[in-house]
Amino acid sequence: MSESDHQLYACLWELTLRCNLNCMHCGSAAGKARNKELSLDECYHIANQLLELGCKELTFIGGEIFLYPGWEKIARYMSDNGLIVNIMSNGYQIGEREIEQIKYAKLSNVGISIDGMETSHNMIRRRSDSFASIKKTFDLLNREQIPIGAVTCLLDFNFFELEELYAYLLNNNVELWQLQLANPMGNLADKRELILHPDKIPLITKFIHEKNKERRMLVVAADSIGYHDENETYIRGNRAPICFWEGCQAGLTSIFIDSIGNVKGCGALYSEVFIEGNLKEKTLREIWDNQDNFSYNRKFDVNLLTGKCNLCDMGNICKGGCRASNYFTTHSLYENAFCARNNPA
């Protein structure tokens, strides 16, 4: 083991698998807490290791984040240490207690998962009051002037609601909206017929581009959407003057920590084969600096690409798109079936 050549920038941290919903598309099949989830003291210990490695951005998730007692304390600790900290929530049954926790945590924004208009959203959430509950959450966040983000998971039947949902989010003062694909994993593993068809991807990149030209709300493509069509430089969130997909960053600049301390390159790689180590057994630096870890990206070679990706002239830059999406759809880490460049409208 030697010091890593890669600088950790962002961490996605699942504090609990416990959830108050049972969503149709949940990749982690959340519901019950895992056995022996990390204690708050263990979380502080891990937090210090993230600081030691120079992590800059941290997102806390569940399950449902509000079901982990003390989440706001560890979030505040990281905010006070200069990190950009936010959370993702399903927005269900959030009240005054949760709003006070959010304010205490000094979050950069609160991300709310919303997957369509009322009928579609409630069907995905399997709760008839879930959409109405999100509206109440938006109202509470706006009352306190807390910045709001939104994440929408696209399936074949909610794709057509993008325009209507865009208007709804604007009316609720959402500042940033991320679109991502639902993958056939977790609760959706045996429902592949609900997965968005690849021929819709160019329509999504066009939609994002057009909305960003309006400059009313920043719309961002998640890592599972793209790559390198005519809209590419307009869909990545304007993180740089010229911004485009440069390949999966799992294990290169980002990591995922689950609620029992397992470390992966990405939270969407829902398989034990991607566990690089456990923080109850090793330090984060030991895991990060191990040059044999995250080998699917750290030892990438363009010759690993298969299918259309193998023939693509952008292969050495794109590197095959999203590893997680690839793994669960084509069963190859290096072949992407949802590429906008190779599935033109």
The stretch 181-189 carries a mean pLDDT of 94
pLDDT at 242: 60
Q: What is the mean pLDDT of the chain?
A: 95
Percent of the chain clearing pLDDT 90 (strictly above): 95
Q: Is 3 a residue whose pLDDT tops 70?
A: no
In CATH, the number for domain 10-196+247-299 is: 3.20.20.70
Q: Is 211 a residue whose pLDDT tops 70?
A: yes
pLDDT at 237: 84
pLDDT in tens, 108-162: 999 999 999 999 999 999 999 999 999 999 999 999 999 999 999 999 999 999 9
pLDDT at 105: 99
- SS3 annotation, the chain: CCCCCCCCCEEEEECCCECCCCCCCCCCCCECCCCCCCCHHHHHHHHHHHHHCCCCEEEEECCCHHHCCCHHHHHHHHHHCCCEEEEEECCCCCCHHHHHHHHHHCCCEEEEECCCCHHHHHHHHCCCCHHHHHHHHHHHHHHCCCCEEEEEEECCCCHHHHHHHHHHHHHCCEEEEEEEECCCCHHHCCCHHHCCCHHHHHHHHHHHHHHHHHCCCEEEECCCCCCCCCCHHHCCCCCCCCCCCCCCCECCCEEEECCCCEEECCCCCCCHHHCCEECCCCCHHHHHHCCCCCHHHHCCCHHHCCHHHHHCCCHHHHCCCCHHHHHHHCCCCCCCCCCCCCCCC
pLDDT in tens, 11-50: 999 999 999 999 999 999 999 999 999 999 999 999 999 9
The structural domains of the chain, with segments of one domain joined by +, span 10-196+247-299
pLDDT in tens, 262-312: 999 999 999 999 999 999 999 999 999 999 999 999 999 999 999 999 999
How many Å apart are CA 163 and CA 186, to the nearest integer? 28
- SS3 annotation, 171-236: HCCEEEEEEEECCCCHHHCCCHHHCCCHHHHHHHHHHHHHHHHHCCCEEEECCCCCCCCCCHHHCC
Q: Is 95 a residue whose pLDDT tops 90?
A: yes
Q: Is 1 a residue whose pLDDT tops 80?
A: no
Residue 110 bridge partners (DSSP): 87, 148
Q: Is 2 a residue whose pLDDT tops 90?
A: no
Beta carbons of 155 and 195 less than 8 angstroms apart: yes
Q: Is 261 a residue whose pLDDT tops 90?
A: yes
Q: Is 326 a residue whose pLDDT tops 50?
A: yes
